[in-house]
Amino acid sequence: MFLNKAANPGYFTHGRNLLGSINRGVNRSAALQSYGRLAGEEAHKSLQHWSQMPDVEIFESISRFVHRVIVRCMMGEDFYDHHVDELYDLLQQMESLVGHPFNLLLPSWVPHLPGRQLAQARNRFAEIFRERLAARQLESDVWRDSLDYINYTLNDPRTAQLADYYPSHHVVLMFAAHTSTVASIAWTIVEVSLSTWLLRKLDLTSSYSCSAIPYTKRKFESLWPPCRRYSGVHMFRTTKQPVSLEGSDYTVPEKSVVLISPYLTHHDPAIYPEPHEYQPHRWLLPDGRLNPWNGSKEAAFLQFGAGNHRCPGENFAAIIAREFLAALLMKYEIEWGRDGAPADLSRLDFTKVGSPWLEGDAAVRIRPRVFGS
Ligand code: HEM
């Protein structure tokens, strides 16, 4: 319901079909490899820029970085070259406007300013898609092998005829992809900056190459899942049959809507001893593999949900996080900015679509690492 007004009428009729295409399009191994390279390039560009600034706000800066990576990989180099900043502003506007009480509560035939503003932003988003897709048609040879997700949907017979719905699909997709990916990287930076002992223990000074050194790669990946503690997305499910709850005599009736909270699971000390501690090493198995936590009957790690509606962007998000954290921690020093470390990490901002950010943000200073000093 929340997203209804961000999409054009009719989109949700085809929503399942388009949502299904994300898994197929984004998780192709050639695509993921290319997304890793692009995320690495964007990380280096952003970090170089930030290292020349006095301080950078963590969540705000990571938000722009993640947006650039998602546009470049999912929409393609043409959307990135011509519209990356405009798309950021439009999505920010739409996100705040869909949450406006008038848009949430009033039917769409009631005229009001936030409704008109939302329609304007939605229309401009759609216009950008029309412009770019028309330009691609004129240069179809250039775009034939592009690994961006739009190109995949244009070439897949299940979604090729749905091009009119792509703008709505990408608004929904950007909402699903952006906030939580930003949260997971930004919280990792906060946690790592609060734990200088950790940097020494992980020995991050050895050289890193995205594809060549699997064990080192795991070290970066292990920094990230501890952000389970900031899981803000709830999972909605409907029971297909009565389910009796273990340890109680209550049975959830058939066709009930059940709300599952990854947040509570991720703070259960029976699963994660000392759940409030940031302990990346608990994610590394002795042989260097990542600990998956979930056995065949367990659902201990729900950061990306489970079952039919499980997040199709998990691999992509992990790649963005790994490339960014590797670039940051290998080549730069971080210290707290003008206001020092945030005093209260429990101030969570849930106003966005996805995992919470830190209310009021926190600033860090990033400087190139001087080797051999
Ligand atoms: C750290 C980053 C991310 C987190 C924590 C996250 C988490 C989640 C969760 C918990 C769900 C609901 C799963 C369920 O109900 O079982 C979900 C769904 C979804 N996510 Fe993600 N996500 C992230 C990144 C992404 C990215 C990068 C994309 C884009 C490719 C994406 C696209 C989606 C979509 C389209 C759905 C809806 C799936 C459906 O209903 O079938 N997510 N995500």
Probe target for ligand 1 pocket from 21, 235, 259, 304, with the most ligand atoms within 8 Å of CB = 304
| Protein residues whose CB sits closer than 6 Å to any atom of ligand 1 | 19, 22, 26, 173, 176-177, 180-181, 184, 233, 235, 303-306, 309-313, 316-317, 355
Q: Which amino acid is present at 323?
A: E
Q: What is the pLDDT of residues 37-80, one digit of tens each?
A: 999 999 999 999 999 999 999 999 999 999 999 999 999 999 99
Tokens standing for residue 209: 């190459």
**Helix, strand, or coil here: 243?**
strand
Q: Is residue 4 within 8 Å of residue 99, measured between CB atoms?
A: no
311 annotated as ligand-binding: yes
Residue 271 has pLDDT above 90, yes or no: no
Q: Is residue 70 within 8 Å of residue 321, measured between CB atoms?
A: no
* Predicted local confidence at residue 357, as pLDDT: 94
Distance from residue 209's CA to the centre of ligand 1 (Å):
27
Distance from residue 130's CA to the centre of ligand 1 (Å):
26
Task: Give the gyration radius of the chain's Cα atoms.
Answer: 21
Distance from residue 166's CA to the centre of ligand 1 (Å):
18
Q: For residue 201, give the CATH number of its domain.
A: 1.10.630.10
**Helix, strand, or coil here: 238?**
strand
Distance from residue 359's CA to the centre of ligand 1 (Å):
22
Q: What is the reported pTM?
A: 0.90
Mutual angle of helices 58-70 and 77-98, in 10-degree steps: 130
> Does the residue 4 lie in any domain?
yes
Per the prediction, the chain carries an average pLDDT of 87
Q: Which amino acid is present at 282?
A: R
> Does the residue 307 lie in any domain?
no
Task: Measure Cα distances from 109 to 4, 101, 106, 115 in Å.
Answer: 14, 15, 8, 10
Total domains in the chain come to: 1
Pairwise CA distance, residues 33 & 83, whole Å = 24
Specify the residue for token string 């998602």. 70
> Does the residue 133 lie in any domain?
yes
Residue owning the nearest CA to atom 30 of ligand 1 = 313
Can you give the residue range of the structural domain that contains 111? Answer: 1-230+313-368
> Does the residue 35 lie in any domain?
yes
> Does the residue 253 lie in any domain?
no
Pairwise CA distance, residues 166 & 92, whole Å = 19
> Does the residue 296 lie in any domain?
no
Residue owning the nearest CA to atom 12 of ligand 1 = 305
- What is the phi/psi pair of residue 148, to 5°? -65, 155
Residue owning the nearest CA to atom 16 of ligand 1 = 305
CA atoms within 13 A on the CB side of 16: 3
- What integer is the mean pLDDT of 215-231? 66
pLDDT band at 169 (very low <50, low <70, confident <90, very high): very high
**Ligand 1 atom having least distance to the Cα of 16:** 41
- Please count the helices (runs of H) and the strands (runs of E) in the chain: 13, 9
* Predicted local confidence at residue 103, as pLDDT: 85
* Distance of alpha carbon 313 from the chain centroid: 8
